[in-house]
Structure 1
Amino acid sequence: MQIQQVRAELGRREVLSGVDLEARAGEVLALVGPNGSGKTTVLRCCYRALSPSAGRITLAGAELSSLSRRAVARQLAASAQEPPPSGGLTVRESVQLGRAAHLGWLQSAGGTDRAVVDRVLAQVGLEGLAGRDVKELSGGERQRMSIARALAQEPRVLLLDEPTNHLDLKHQLTVMNLLVSLAADGIAVVVTLHDLRLAVEYCDRIAVVSGGVIVGTGAPADVLTGSLLADVFGIMGEVGADPRTGRPALSVHGLSSDEMVVV
């Protein structure tokens, strides 16, 4: 998926001012930035919840606006930051809605569809809650159910808005490891995150959004420089290698190594 010079407005206020971005197969791309910077708006344009006022977005080389909803749903799936409760359905029934793009208009779900639902429920750790009414779920459980429904579409591009929102630490790490695994299978994953530590440790690339524009894109260590962290996030820190794992890690002055950095 490619985003080229995309502008977007909410009301009469321009919230994106010429965004260029590429979601690449086989990697996890994090959109990070302060509140109100435009991260969620970028995703909303990509899954057509908001129409850009200028620019173009292409999916597999085709103009996104020219594709039918069904054609988009077979390639792209999204999970919103605050998924609707959809009470009255069980968790399994709600997740199975993600198979709709692969079924004919009057076609019922078959064995393949049920197997996909079983797999994605296990991936997000909800297999034990499959028969529970959605309205009985906690916020974190609804978040994981929304991710499972997106995965049930078997997309080539996966867009997740704050997928670790409402989750405890264990499930945050479960979700982030799942995204890494999905990318390894060839999916393009784009995720908005407030937690810079998670973005640095789990994402292949980071795009920093500030004031409706991308002010830096690349590997975490290349983008999150001391000057950018100070200018955009108002914190002092740097990205280095974790001495235990060798993986990138964010250090912020004045915080212990066990604290998450949420902006």
Structure 2
Amino acid sequence: MGTALVTGATSGIGLEIAWQLAAARHHLVLVARTADRLEKIAHQIRSAAGVEVEVLPADLATAEGREVVAARLRGGGRPVGLLVNNAGFGLGQHLVGGDLAREERALEVMVRSVLVLSKVAAEAMVARGRGAVLNVSSMSAFTTMGTYAAHKAWVVTFTEALAGELEGTGVTATVLCPGLVRTEFHASAGLDATAWPDAAWVSVEKVAADALRAVRRGKVLVTPSLRYAAAGAVLRLAPRSLVRRMAGPATSGRAIT
């Protein structure tokens, strides 16, 4: 029984990963901005699974918030054997004409936070000779659908590089690239989920299960569902001019309300 720290743990993929880890008898450290919601979820998991659940209210868009989580990863409690960098949000806007502050916040949460927390966690894990980092990216990483896609593309490359650096240490790095998942993500970003057909969606339970299975196997990149794995392969091999035409801002823009 180990301890996992999950960011963005109060909804969506992060919440489902937390529940599946608890069901597998892992203790948890849950990170999100809202203390009340964290405490409610922690109480539910403790009651249902009988594991220890710590809560860390922290805003990962700030240096102060990141340091709260980094300090926990360095020590001060049960050693963290799995870091899940899941925190993130959809921007729901184009760059041109959009809110710059929202763009900068997204960069802090989905890039800088992943960099800082992965580094701190990996260093602590390497010193112990075991551990894993799971970074949540997106299928959009292989597209040109705006700055969100750019952030997620960085996460993919960063995690693959980290995995290579960690070879032989007993510590692994895995990046999860889900497609469309039935969560609160799209509504929170003001995106119209009906812009995509029902067949395009994957359940959050499958996404979380596939991610954790990949971590256990030490797999570097995981894309839940054969359909999305095939789409990802096509996007990586296709000419970039075609990707820009078929999977660019105009495509994602159909969902912006």
TM range (shorter): 0.3 to 0.5
Bigger fraction of residues in helix: 2
Tell which has more relative contact order, 1 or 2 (C-alpha 8 A, sep 6+).
1
Instruction: Tell me which structure has the larger Cα radius of gyration.
Output: 1
Output the TM-score relative to the length of structure 2.
0.36
